[in-house]
Homo-oligomer: A and B are copies of this chain.
Amino acid sequence: MNVTEYLKVWADSYKHDLTADILPFWLANGLDRKHGGVYTCLDREGRLMDSTKSVWFQGRFGFVAAYAYNQMERNPEWLEASKSCIDFIEAHCADADGHMYFEVAADGTPLRKRRYVFSECFAAIAMSEYAIASGDKRYAEKALELFKRIQRFLATPGFLEPKYLPALQARGHSITMILINTASRIRAAIDDPVLNTQIDESLDAIRRYFIHPEFKALLEMVGPEGEFIDTCNGRLINPGHCIETAWFILEEARHRGGDKDLTDMALQILDWSWQWGWDEQYGGIINFRDCRNLPVQDYSQDMKFWWPQTEAIIATLYAYQATKDEKYLAMHKQISDWTYAHFPDREHGEWYGYLHRDGTVAQPAKGNIFKGPFHIPRMMIRSYSLCNDICNDIYHEK
């Protein structure tokens, strides 16, 4: 394989798809030019089918639009879109106690609040990325303040109502891993000791609690000391989620100048999770597995969602960058071949989100409260930069 050529073709493809398809689709169909912010519930053709606004996606698109501006091209429309989402968040998305909502109406009227802090995490990375894009340092400070608020919420017993009663004490992979990415995105805009401390704590928790070598797996829910919980939820493996964690860690390892222990841990997670997740029969990364191979109870267990595939594309590029092992480029090709054969909608643009196990489209909407302009454009932006960085490495090594 001519590696440089392979990566250049992909870099061009990522940039083309992002600038000619994905961002135009959401700017034309999703951006709310009346109230600000973004709609995500769009049908196959991009028509609004529900004006409920996801607070996660105000932050996620606020981040992605600024990230594209910072990493790909200085398109003022993208910067404005980012600012629109952030303004909408600041005007409408937090309750009096500072805790953010989960869903609001088109005009920002609060509709639903949940027990998590993911709305805050996405809002924070929107603000820090916008600070980098605009040069307005106040948004970096806001992001940092919000990060400290997240930590305060998490540390205040009872502030976030626990899902389970006290007899079921558990740690979740989701909040542990998202804080790595949240802190590292904010750190790119503003430095503060709480950020590295949080990253260290999360990395330590993943290593000590969530990695279970007896199953060659990273589990989603474990006991307070990492104990294996032998229930349907405790046995759950979410391969795409683990692969996302793997590249968060590879990104951090690179930030630390190629930290070998972190790199090894991340590659271990990637290799194991790929083993669990890659569907030998139909291809693609499957939604869920059970670490004891018992039947998984989530209804979507054998489906192929868009985002695990995008995480695998990023993770295999990071793994190749870290190792120069062509095995990871082969995996990148394998996941890309399957993903690009099944997800993009050649007729109406953007990608389908929800496929059956065999790759047929389960339902053709382009977005809802959980799918919108985040994983796909983030993959394209991140992978575009990775391809270019790796090509530069190769050029300088020669």
Q: Which residues of A contact B (CB under 8 A)?
A: 41, 43-44, 49-52, 101, 105, 109-113, 163-165, 167-168, 230-232, 294-297, 299-303, 354, 356, 362-365, 368-369
Contact = CB atoms under 8 A, between A and B. Distances in A.
A139 B163 CA distance: 33
A49 B164 contact: no
B363 A297 contact: yes
A168 B364 CA distance: 27
A300 B362 CA distance: 9
A266 B232 CA distance: 38
A231 B48 CA distance: 10
Given A43-B295, A101-B165, 8 more contacts: A44-B295, A49-B294, A111-B164, A111-B165, A111-B168, A299-B300, A299-B354, A299-B362
Contacts of A296: 363
Task: Please report whether the interface of chain A is mostly helix, strand, loop or mixed according to DSSP.
Answer: loop
Contacts of A41: 231-232, 297
A4 B135 CA distance: 82
Counting every copy of the chain, the complex holds: 2
A74 B111 CA distance: 51
Given A50-B232, A52-B231, A364 B295 contact: yes
A253 to B, nearest CB: 34
Contacts of A168: 111-112
Contacts of A354: 299
A51 B109 CA distance: 42
Contact of A365 (B43, B105, B111, B297): B297
A373 to B, nearest CB: 17
A181 B398 CA distance: 77
A110 B297 CA distance: 21
Contacts of A297: 41, 363, 365, 368-369
Contact of A165 (B43, B113, B299): B113
